[in-house]
Amino acid sequence: MNNKKDKKKVTKLAELLDNKFQVPGIPIKFGLDPLLGLLPGVGDWIGGVISCYYLFNATKEQARWSVLLRILINILLDVLIGAIPGLGEVFDVYWKANIRNAEILQELADHPEQTTRRSRWFNWIIFIGLTLIIFAVLFATSWILIASWVMISDMFN
């Protein structure tokens, strides 16, 4: 995020996903992320894939693995808890993983001297590994939800 345009993109995406809307009279803001979570099966997938944008940017900026790990944990919590019907949407409204990740990237851009740079190859290997972990969690979550749905529907047939 060496330029203002990149910083603006990261911030705008986070706002869109986590803080875009507000119900009049209620001081709680929410974005597309909890709304996507309402789509059974695919909503959390879409949100998790979009959130990988922050992981990509941190990798591009050669962030140390601990920064990548913080972003990954935010994404995984968002995806895992977000997959729980009802509770997941409430969690998304309050957790705001994308805002958290945008703040991490902003901190990385504002204080690069406090961030140890690693080799590009190492960071891209970490990025690919972490992205695969996110996709594995998404697949596992989807499989569990589908298996649960089948079991419940079989009980009533």
Q: What pLDDT does 14 receive?
A: 94
Report the run of H or E that residue 13 belongs to, with start and end.
Answer: helix 4-18
Report the domain count for the chain. Answer: 1
User: Which residue bears the tokens 């913080």?
Assistant: 70
Q: Do residues 60 and 6 make contact, with C-beta atoms less than 8 angstroms apart?
A: no
* Each residue's pLDDT tens digit, 91-128: 988 999 999 999 999 988 887 766 555 556 667 777 88
* Each residue's pLDDT tens digit, 140-157: 888 888 888 898 888 887
Q: What pLDDT does 114 receive?
A: 64
Q: Which of 157, 42, 63 is nearest to 119 (CA)?
A: 63
Query: How far is residue 63's CA from residue 110's CA, in Å, rounded to a whole number?
Result: 13
Q: What pLDDT does 113 receive?
A: 65
Hey, is 84 helix, strand or coil?
A: coil
Looking at residue 113, the DSSP 8-state letter turns out to be G
- Strand partners for 22: 29
Q: Which of 131, 123, 138, 112 is nearest to 1 (CA)?
A: 112
- 137: pLDDT strictly greater than 90: no
Query: How far is residue 126's CA from residue 38's CA, in Å, rounded to a whole number?
Result: 31
Q: What pLDDT does 102 receive?
A: 95
Beta strands (DSSP E) in 1-156 are 21-22, 29-30
Query: How far is residue 68's CA from residue 73's CA, in Å, rounded to a whole number?
Result: 9
Q: What pLDDT does 116 receive?
A: 55
Q: Do residues 68 and 118 make contact, with C-beta atoms less than 8 angstroms apart?
A: no
* Each residue's pLDDT tens digit, 14-54: 999 999 999 899 899 999 998 988 887 788 889 989 999 99
Mean pLDDT of 63-83: 86
Which residue range(s) make up the domain with 36?
A: 4-155
